[in-house]
Amino acid sequence: MAEQSQILLIEDNAADAELTLEAFKQSRSPLIVNVVRNGVEALSYLRHEGEFSASIPPKLILLDLSLPCKDGHDVLAELKTDPRLMSIPVIVLTTSRNPRDISAAYKSHANCYIRKPLDFDRFLAIIEAIESFWLEIVELPAKEETR
């Protein structure tokens, strides 16, 4: 049986998070989506700190930009400068269409920037595309032994 792919969803809006989970439910392959609600939690999760000491490193990170306190840009910058985390692909998933956000995200080495569509069908299509591209087509680095 194929190993379950872990995905970390960093999203502060509960309704939005649930919607993304709903979309992933249509998934063909076995997936586990973990949700954290803010940037501080996200970094703790990824660094296995505190309550997340037993967390499993995700294959993929979905990052919302508008987060309380430490916002998406801050989290992205920290992720991409941390040698242990920088190789995990980060997909920015946000409603913002501000060219500044887009440019800043890529400058911080986001792997791609996707605008959340208004329409649910479209959203399903996007989640499916993410899954097929990032988890099926793309070769990701082997999971490093975590200390």
Query: Minimum distance between the CB of residue 50 and other proteins, rounded to whole angstroms?
Result: 29
Query: Minimum distance between the CB of residue 16 and other proteins, rounded to whole angstroms?
Result: 7
Query: Minimum distance between the CB of residue 93 and other proteins, rounded to whole angstroms?
Result: 12
Tokens 């792997």 belong to: 111
Coil/strand/helix, residue 34 = strand
* Of 99 and 141, CB closest to other proteins: 99
* DSSP, residue by residue, 66-122: --SSS-HHHHHHHHTT-TTTTTS-EEEEES---HHHHHHHHHTT-SEEEEPPSSHHH
> Which residues in this chain contact other proteins in the complex, by CB under 8 A?
13, 15-16, 19, 22, 66, 95-98, 100-101, 116, 118-121, 123
* Of 51 and 121, CB closest to other proteins: 121
* Of 50 and 117, CB closest to other proteins: 117
* Of 11 and 41, CB closest to other proteins: 11
Give the dihedral of Cα atoms 41, 114, 65, 79; nearest 10 deg: 50
